[in-house]
A and B are shown apart, each in its own frame.
Chain A
Amino acid sequence: MTERIGFEPKIIGFLCNWCSYAGADLAGVSRIQYPPNIRIIRVMCSGRIDPAFVLEAFKNGADGVLVAGCHLPSDCHYLSGNFKAARRIALLRKVLADFGIEPERLRLEWVSASEGDRFAAIVRDIVEEIRKLGPNPFKNKDGETQ
């Protein structure tokens, strides 16, 4: 067992039901290990992810947020939800900077139902990256609790 010391990022993951959530399940079925820093919230479609959800996560102390959906162009179960997510998240990243939150804390990734390995790799990568960035600045300014 690895002893964990120092800053442990808290990551919120919004995963679409059809591809990314299934990919995360496959990581489990294949027992591919990744750091336990992510808390997954299932939504039906990545197009459902309201910027308010992401902001709420940062407001409550999340150090990083992952939004994951079906691969472009045509994997989306709802035909085009992934395109909508792509546009929203790109805009949201711009807005985040205004809040004093590094845009790198918000990640958009496409994960298919057969990419368990990829999902685990993404989580590992995010945790590493956020570890380097340090805690959510929002949290420091306003204290731990909101």
Chain B
Amino acid sequence: MIFRPKIVAFMCHWSLPPEIDVSTPSLIRGYPKIRIVKTMCAGRIDPAIVMETFLKGADGVLVVGCHSPDCHYVDGNTQAERKVKMLKRLIRLTGFDPERLRLEWANASEIENLARIINHFRNQVASLGASPLTSGESNSDVVINIKAAKAVAENFTLRLLVGREKEMTENANVYGDKVSQEEFDRLLEETLEAEFIRHKIHQLITEKPMSVKEIAAETHMEPSQTLCHIVNMRRKNMITLDHVKGTTPLYKALEAH
């Protein structure tokens, strides 16, 4: 059987050729499994929605916006760019292939170009095979990771950082200093890693309480580092001490805020 990847494309209204009827699933003959979701602007793409799309079984997600100076909303496309950049970093942490997410620029008048983009992406995803999230195992590592990643994408801190990136790296921060891209990226990376691992821990101990050592084994981390995360997650009321078994404290997740 030929593998036909399920691809969801988020396309901005202004880059979408008028010929295309988004209500029909078939954009280009022979590839029926491409779904198009229209948004007014690529900047509208919510990282959490992208993650949800993967969780729902998409093999690839394509985001299409307008070429650089053409954004109908001034800089929606660059915002989309930052979000996708962040998402790819986040996905990298999950063990899921970041190549399953792609951002492209298109123009409403260039349907061939769009077809080429889609074709190219479809081939790329096809070569990656079916998404590990479609295997049906609801508790596999990758499912937990993507769920955690989705929680990260919904997280206030990250959304805030990405939202402020442009102002801070291109103009100035509140002190009137320009933050270099490297410095910002370093902070973003650190925050992503910390938030991802914390949300992963949260996922892991939602069902049953676990000890620091058990969590460390699941997350391939040093137990000492795991404990640091546990401490900070308690501080943020993400988790609580469930009970102590012998000399081992077990922690459980608190309901997400």
User: A residues bordering B, Cβ < 8 Å?
Assistant: 2, 30-33
Contacts and interface: CB of A to CB of B under 8 A. Distances in A.
Range class of the B interface residue count:
under 10
Contacts of A2: 255
Contacts of A31: 237
7 contacts: A2-B255, A30-B235, A30-B237, A31-B237, A32-B237, A33-B237, A33-B254
A33 B253 CA distance: 13
B-side interface mostly: loop
A4 to B, nearest CB: 14
Contacts of B255: 2
Nearest to B237: A31
> Nearest 7 A-B pairs (CB), nearest first?
A31-B237, A32-B237, A33-B237, A33-B254, A2-B255, A30-B237, A30-B235
A43 B157 CA distance: 41
Interface in B191-246: 235, 237
Contacts of A32: 237
Contacts of B237: 30-33
A44 B237 CA distance: 31
A59 B237 CA distance: 37
Nearest to A31: B237
A73 B237 CA distance: 32
B233 to A, nearest CB: 13
Contacts of A33: 237, 254
A95 to B, nearest CB: 35
A1 B161 CA distance: 27
A124 to B, nearest CB: 10
Contacts of A30: 235, 237
A32 B235 CA distance: 9
A105 B121 CA distance: 66
Interface in B98-141: none
A123 to B, nearest CB: 14
Contacts of B254: 33
